[in-house]
Amino acid sequence: MSMIPCQRDRFDIPREVAYLNCAYMSPLAHEVTGAVESGAALKAAPWTYRPADFFTHTEAARSRFAALAGSSPDDFAVVPSVSYGLAVAARNLPLRRGQDIVVLADQFPSNLYIWREHAIACGARIVTVKREAGEAWTPAVLAAIGPDTGLVAVPNCHWADGGLVDLDAVGAACRAAGAALVLDLTQSLGALPFDARSVQPDFMVAACYKWAMGPYGIGMLYVAPKHQGGTPIEHNWMNRGGSEDFSRLVDYRNDFQPGARRFDMGEKANPPLLMGATAAIDMLLGWGIANIAETLGHRNLALGEAARGIGLLAPDPGTRAPHFLSLGFPHDVPGGLLERLAAENVFVSLRGRSLRVTPHLYNDDMDCERLITVLREALG
């Protein structure tokens, strides 16, 4: 692993802007914007878009999903959102009446609503894992997994404060209990190393517009081989066997494209999104995910120390993901804090009583110093 120098020149971020909010939405790098524009140009001249292109761009993106998350391209479907991917998972993971679905307290809504509905439909129960302030998530999750557990639906890190979940340990516990494991990695994939072959989830979904640094409206769904004969939530023409042959589309077929492709969304052949996501993942892989995690971890350690120096609270680095920093206030959150920061062109997020600070490689020391300066003045 090695530290990565600042990559600000690859992004269109004005010098006066300190954007420390990648967990909200990443900016697009120049090469990603260029790829999106090249994809849009194909629609501007559809006579240049061949039937084969409906598949080639999709397969290019699928191969990058596999490189980023581990396993084979055959194990990945193209989806528009986390909620879509989780709906596929719920459709293919029936539960027995009385079984438990384990989730984290204050989990992101898209990874809760589907399980509430699934619990009602199956007669299952939602078990919400809580932790005390300053404690790690993993022991609490492991303690919640038992003989009644049918499904565990968790992230790698909590979306609000970056609290870390050891997925290898949780995956092993799920296999021992005979429980399914479903992961939402939107807030970690691209910034934390992940290997589906090691963790062995049943399903994993991640949107591309945060730490995967791609466009909005596209994501990836990992489907374990044992579920690849399952039922998709929609039936579109491209997912059926032989759909590459446009002259025979009304020779209706019952078979599907191989692997997880049966779960692809309709109109998946969207070049701006596919080409943008592909370019973004190529950029991440060029940097190296472990190197990204180390570099962001180093920056957040320094930010945490600086924040403590002005009276803020920062969590133990051992309990949080390295790319996330959640800052607490000794008393109430100062009124109008986000507006005050934005007025100084400093951008972060407020989640509950915590300030979520999530820099990336486009940030430098000047950005971090400006954040601390405005916070010091606000605490006054």
DSSP string, 215-253: -TT-EEEEE-GGGTTS--SS--GGGBTTTT-GGGTTS--
Could you count the other beta carbons within 10 Å of the beta carbon of residue 200?
16
- Cβ burial of 365 (10 Å; 0-12, 13-18, 19+) is exposed
Category of 134 on φ-ψ map: left (φ > 0), alpha (ψ -120 to 50) or beta? left
- Cβ burial of 254 (10 Å; 0-12, 13-18, 19+) is exposed
pLDDT at 233 over 70: yes
- Of the listed ranges 27-31, 204-208, 226-230, 376-380, the least confidently predicted one is 376-380
CA angle 201, 204, 205 (to 5 degrees): 175
Q: How far is CA 353 from CA 99, 160, 273, 329, in A?
A: 34, 10, 35, 7
**Percent of the chain surpassing pLDDT 90:** 94
Q: Is-contact 214 189, C-beta < 8 A?
A: no
Here the tokens at position 9 are 């020149």
Q: Is-contact 368 360, C-beta < 8 A?
A: no
Residue range 171-182: mean pLDDT, rounded = 98
pTM: 0.96
Q: How far is CA 200 from CA 164, 216, 362, in A?
A: 18, 27, 33
Q: Encode pLDDT of 13-57 as tens digits.
A: 999 999 999 999 999 999 999 999 999 999 999 999 999 999 999
Q: What is the CA radius of gyration of the chain?
A: 22
CA angle 244, 71, 34 (to 5 degrees): 65
Which tops the pLDDT comparison, 132 or 270?
270
Q: Encode pLDDT of 315-337 as tens digits.
A: 889 999 999 999 999 888 888 99
Structure confidence at residue 1 (pLDDT): 67
DSSP string, 75-89: GEEEES-HHHHHHHH
Rounded to an integer, what distance in angstroms lies between the CA atom of residue 10 and that of residue 283?
10
Rounded to an integer, what distance in angstroms lies between the CA atom of residue 366 and that of residue 79?
38
pLDDT at 141 over 80: yes
Structure confidence at residue 352 (pLDDT): 83
Structure confidence at residue 376 (pLDDT): 94
Residue range 192-220: mean pLDDT, rounded = 98
